[in-house]
A and B are shown apart, each in its own frame.
Chain A
Amino acid sequence: MGELIQVGMAECKLARPPDKLMTAGLGSCVGICLLDPITKIASMCHIMLPYCHHDKPAVNPGKYADTAILAAVGAMHRSGADTDHLIAKIAGGAQMFRFSGNSDIFKIGQRNVLSVEENLEKNKIQLLGKDIGGNVGRTIVFDPATGNLAIRTIHEGDKII
């Protein structure tokens, strides 16, 4: 039996079969799942913000879309993954507050998704599936053995991408 590895807000973790990666309660944050289909080495990041604006290296690269993807690719490479042929699946980036006026902070989900897609492309990682936006919270489980991403919601049922 494999382990279910929990990934918290602003964290990034690696796994290989039979273990799976999980993050619970994604709202405006985005869960980024990367997989090397040959070695089955996978990673999951739970990013909170689109870009790292600091000049010095981020204290915690897992917090930002741009630095999290770089850190995940680096860690996968060091574990022996072929990082030239990674595939990706992403979920999250919702707008959770439905009665919220026009404050900019409530658009963070959308900005997170844009940055994730941009940075995947920049790192030549093929995006194979996404379940993003709307106003639902998501819990996701990524299985490195199959590359399946299971998505659970309270209001809109479950699906696998």
Chain B
Amino acid sequence: MSVLHEGWDKISKMQLDVLREIANIGAGNAATALATMLKSRIEISVPHALIMPFADVPGFMGGAEAHSVGIYFHVSGPAQASILLVMPVEKAAQLLEMLLGTSPASMSGPFSNLEYSALMELGNILSSSYLNALSSFTRISFKPSPPALAVDMVGSILNTILSQYGEVSEMVLVMETGFKKDKVDVVGNIFLLPEPDSLNTLFNALGVVV
């Protein structure tokens, strides 16, 4: 059982600020990787770090029915977590066009196997860049699993991921950052969901103990 089992109220505003800061560092590094791949200017939005009940997560990620591409990695190591890249399906299609140099099979999915592979590779690069930055900052090693991909309603994609948290908690901590291309065009969001047991490890490494 989690150390923090239903102890979410013990997490201070200062600790959430620190998590926002590491989301900023991780996503900043991922944005650099994305910019290099797309040869475009990529900026990140102001990061969020929020504690919320499961029922609120889909709304926070674009709405339960938003047609999206989700690329998921389980992160193992001393501080386990989930990392999820969510892109509106038409943005994913635009990225594919830029990455592959040809229009995708469909602008609203389903995509071809080559296109799915390209998206998973994109997810690999972004999540590893994010986690590498976190590792150098915290000295914790984060090991992402191979990617898992789904194209459907955001709520349905989240179910499987959140059910892992449901075993130990009623709430989930969500760290979010958006990627903006050419200043305005939001291409996607990256979410880090630390497992409740990992929070103490993270806070210890960051020097902000409960």
Contacts and interface: CB of A to CB of B under 8 A. Distances in A.
B164 A24 contact: no
B88 to A, nearest CB: 13
Contact of A108 (B6, B70, B150, B163): B163
A109 B160 CA distance: 8
B130 interface: no
A139 to B, nearest CB: 6
A97 B166 contact: no
B152 A154 contact: yes
A10 B55 contact: yes
A4 to B, nearest CB: 13
B167 interface: yes
B81 to A, nearest CB: 14
Nearest to B147: A99
B67 interface: yes
B153 A103 contact: no
B60 to A, nearest CB: 12
B160 A28 contact: yes
B157 A96 contact: yes
Contacts, number: 126
B156 A49 contact: no
A49 B55 contact: no
Given A27-B152, A49-B163, A100-B148, A10 B54 contact: yes
A49 B167 contact: yes
Contact of A139 (B6, B64, B150, B166): B64
Contacts of B103: none
- Interface majority SS on A: helix, strand, loop or mixed? loop
Interface residues of A, number: 36
B206 interface: no
Contacts of A27: 150, 152-153, 155-160
Nearest to B167: A49
Contact of A25 (B56, B146, B156): B156
A138 B164 CA distance: 20
A48 B60 CA distance: 18
B158 A24 contact: no
Interface string A27-65: 111000000000000000000110001000001100100
B156 A9 contact: no
Contacts of A29: 159, 163
B148 A136 contact: no
A48 B54 CA distance: 10
Chain A to chain B: the 8 pairs with minimum beta-carbon distance, closest first: A25-B155, A8-B55, A137-B156, A27-B156, A27-B159, A25-B64, A24-B64, A137-B153
15 contacts: A9-B54, A29-B163, A49-B166, A49-B167, A59-B170, A63-B170, A97-B150, A99-B116, A99-B120, A100-B148, A103-B74, A106-B148, A108-B163, A136-B152, A137-B156
